[in-house]
Structure 1
Amino acid sequence: MGVGLSSGTGRPGRHLPRRDDPIGSLTGGLCERLRLRSGRGGTIRGGSGRTDALAFAATIEQAAAGLSRRGLCLGDVVGVLAPVSPDRFLASYTVMAVGGRALTVLPESDPETQCSALAETDARLLFVSEDMAERGLELAERSRVRQIITFGSALGTTPFAELLLPSPDGNGYSPARGLFDNGLLGYENTGDGMFTTLYTHHDLLARFAELREELALTPDDVVGVDRRGDEATRHALVALALWTGACVVAGDDCPPPEGRSVTVECSPEPTRISRPDRPR
């Protein structure tokens, strides 16, 4: 079974960088920006709770350092098996922050397709949500995956928290150093084999810039993302919301904050459905 590889959006990298643009990856520089905007950092919410955007961005940087210590190299493919949730975005942004390529392994795909996607892209590492750990172990037996990192705990897997441990030798790692070999990988099982699509950093940043112009997000917006829309657009939209200081609600079972409503949806193209109903 062969792999067909296409470029992502086909958008040229014509957007001039701004001081508040991502550097190297969609979250490169986000942590520093949020530290300078204390009190206006926004949140990301899932079915299990909420996380302040600053804590979320800092976790990405810590986890990226942990992946770097484990030998992840530029261009390496890492699978991400999780429903649309903060965990899915955390894993993908972390992989891209180290210069890797995050392969979204769709939970709704059948096991044969999931296994083929991992095997054909030569993924050796797999992030899984706690509820998908058993499936992840099954896929590892049938592919080249050698390590599974779980958001939670499951026998035979590595807890995500281990990536956040301090470096034994004190060496740091900066994920904002111009890692342009990163990106997102999507896949489609066609009659001729597994066809993968790479959305490069330039593709994602171009989409980020377009959404910024189209949506004019403010810190008072609530951005809702679920299974509707394509993965690259979802990641660009969530990153934009985090950079803006807006609130993100991720997943079908995640309600907006009390007293507020979703103002922007990814359905399937990001659309403004209302203006913020009250300031924070």
Structure 2
Amino acid sequence: MSFTSPYPDVDIPNLGLYDFLFGSITEQDLGRVALIDGATGEETDYRTLIAKINAVAGALAARGLSVGDVVGLHSPNSPEFAVAFHGILRGGGTATTINALYTAADIAKQLKDSGAKALFTVSPMLAQAVTAAEQVGIPAERVIVLDGAEGHLSLADLIAEDVSAPTVAFDPATQVAVLPYSSGTTGNPKGVELSHRNLVANVCQVGLPVPVRADDRVLAVLPFFHIYGLTVLLNLSLYQRASLVTMAKFDLSKFLTLVSGKKCTFVFVAPPVALALAKHPMVDEHDLSSVRTIVSGAASLDEELGNAVAARLGTRVLQGYGMSELSPVSHIIGVDELEVSLSSIGKPLPNTENKIVDPATGAEIAVPAEGRSEPGELWVKGPNVMLGYLNNDAATAETLDADGYLHTGDVAVVDADLNVYIVDRLKELIKYKGYQVPPAELESLLLTHPQIADAAVIGVRDAEGEEVPKAFVVLQAGAELTADEVMAFVAERVSPHKKVRRVQFIDTVPKSSAGKILRKDLRAGEARG
């Protein structure tokens, strides 16, 4: 049986993202600080931000940008990213956000697949950006360097042209606003078509259980090029007239200095940052008392780890869940839900329906009267569900069914109060002698060991061809631990079929920019070994 969100439905205006965020802004709010550059301390108020967005939209239109044209945006977090992104959308264009860590080949692949006609980048990444642009036929005059570089227009150049923003018309429900690419942890990245309505809806949905306020200062360390950072940090904060403090990349010392110095109140993180907040001694050297809420997303947060962060900082820690195809959030623990376990991803967002479906039989699993349900694949339906994958009808059909449900590929259970818990990825479950072993469960357990800084688990074949759990372990500085001790630690705490049967010590666990463990990299290393 399907189950709906326990939250009341929210109104979703039929507007483009620019008009939704800024169309009804008050004179008082125009004077509020919108963006604070974490590197320089420079502040941009809402009046200036909107003027710059309109100028960029006008400059792009003067260069022939039409409604629906795709523009690449390849940059770490900065106030300039926000201006460029919203300038593209204000002019009717579609922004394809590109991972700042990409190689020239990766950038070229996304530019070609998306059909981008121009590219924004930054000077430290210019070499790979130019190489990629040349490969796909984007001329140098259409490679705009946000912070300026010889031979290229800068963002300041576009703004200085002072061209009025064009009048554009489109259907917010069908016009693609942003084209992020799925992480590709299990295959080739795919362009995810998210409409203006998708983005507007998700801001409205998240804003009910997680009410960011105008007097909040929100630290923006999660990358804007990832849909989590784009929607939950950038757009939600701007809609609520909060102030965003931008960080180009995570550095623990700078992170702590910014949180304490700028008195940040809301901090959105991925689990690797939570791990540092829970275990690194440097945290005790900073006053983080301004932080009232930490929200973790992008990958699964272990309950004990989240509780350790909450206890150490004396703050509320929440967990959410989503994926690019969901704009990205579909579930979250609300700020007022004090009794919900951090092992949960929370309740479904407003305006959504869920199903949990047995992947073997296709049967729907009912919400239990008490306790938790049997596990099954989580399906989600709502206004935040993507339009589809760009030029990939087959992949779209595999993910979106005829009834509008998005099949997440995640195994979940639900309890009687409609709190949902992710068990694992369908494709990542280890099958040991017919038993299912969730890697995430073992990773969470390993992280409770005081001498283990990080861990990842995959299935590998033993001499008999049986798939067995193997742990990749990162030790705390100065720690001494043997493989046998790691295996014994796990064996004492799990069922026999879940035991870790191989251990390898490594320096770092490979992770995506969003904090997801890159199991494919670990598997590739196994294959080479």
Q: Give the TM bin, normalised by the shorter chain.
A: 0.7 to 0.9
SS for the counterpart of 1:79 is strand
Q: Which residue of 1 aligns with 2:176?
A: 182
1:156 correspondence with 2:156: no
Residues 176 and 193 in structure 2, CA contact (< 8 A), matched pair in contact too: no
Q: TM-score of the superposition, structure 2-length normalised?
A: 0.43
Once the 2 structures are TM-superposed, how far is the Cα of residue 256 of structure 1 from its aligned partner?
4.4
Q: Which residue of 1 aligns with 2:246?
A: 250
State the distance in 1 between where 2:90 and 2:149 align: 25
State the distance in 2 between where 1:257 and 1:182 align: 38
1:71 correspondence with 2:54: no
Q: Which residue of 2 aligns with 1:93?
A: 86
Residues 221 and 264 in structure 1, CA contact (< 8 A), matched pair in contact too: no
Question: Which ranges in structure 2 are unaligned for 5 or more consecutive residues?
Answer: 1-8, 272-291, 295-314, 317-529
1:223 correspondence with 2:215: no
Would the alpha carbon gap of residues 95 and 179 (structure 1) be closer, same or farther in structure 2, given more than 3 Å must change? Answer: farther
Once the 2 structures are TM-superposed, how far is the Cα of residue 191 of structure 1 from its aligned partner?
7.9
Q: Which residue of 2 aligns with 1:263?
A: 266
State the superposition RMSD in angstroms.
Answer: 2.9
Once the 2 structures are TM-superposed, how far is the Cα of residue 173 of structure 1 from its aligned partner?
2.4
Q: Which residue of 1 aligns with 2:199?
A: 204
Once the 2 structures are TM-superposed, how far is the Cα of residue 29 of structure 1 from its aligned partner?
5.7
SS for the counterpart of 1:104 is strand
Q: Which residue of 2 aligns with 1:240?
A: 236
Q: TM-score of the superposition, structure 1-length normalised?
A: 0.77
Q: Which residue of 2 aligns with 1:45?
A: 36
State the distance in 1 between where 2:84 and 2:113 align: 20
Per-residue displacement from partner, 1:182-239 (whole Å, max 9, x unpaired)? 3111224578644211222121111100121121121211112223698223222322
Residues 78 and 124 in structure 1, CA contact (< 8 A), matched pair in contact too: yes
Q: Looking at CA atoms only, which structure, 1 or 2, has the larger radius of gyration? A: 2
State the distance in 1 between where 2:186 and 2:103 align: 15
Q: Which residue of 1 aligns with 2:115?
A: 122
Q: Which residue of 2 aligns with 1:23?
A: 15
Residues 23 and 178 in structure 1, CA contact (< 8 A), matched pair in contact too: no
SS for the counterpart of 2:19 is coil
1:272 aligned to which of 280, 293, 302: 293
State the distance in 2 between where 1:111 and 1:34 align: 40
Would the alpha carbon gap of residues 145 and 17 (structure 1) be closer, same or farther in structure 2, given more than 3 Å must change? Answer: same
Would the alpha carbon gap of residues 179 and 66 (structure 1) be closer, same or farther in structure 2, given more than 3 Å must change? Answer: farther
2:209 aligned to which of 194, 214, 219: 214
State the distance in 2 between where 1:195 and 1:210 align: 25
Number of equivalences: 252
State the distance in 2 between where 1:214 and 1:32 align: 24
Q: Partner amino acid for 2:270?
A: S
Once the 2 structures are TM-superposed, how far is the Cα of residue 28 of structure 1 from its aligned partner?
2.3
Per-residue displacement from partner, 1:71-106 (whole Å, max 9, x unpaired)? 111111111111122222222211111221111111
Once the 2 structures are TM-superposed, how far is the Cα of residue 116 of structure 1 from its aligned partner?
0.6
SS for the counterpart of 2:149 is coil
Which protein, 1 or 2, shows the higher relative CO under an 8 Å CA cutoff with sep ≥ 6? 1
Once the 2 structures are TM-superposed, how far is the Cα of residue 157 of structure 1 from its aligned partner?
1.4
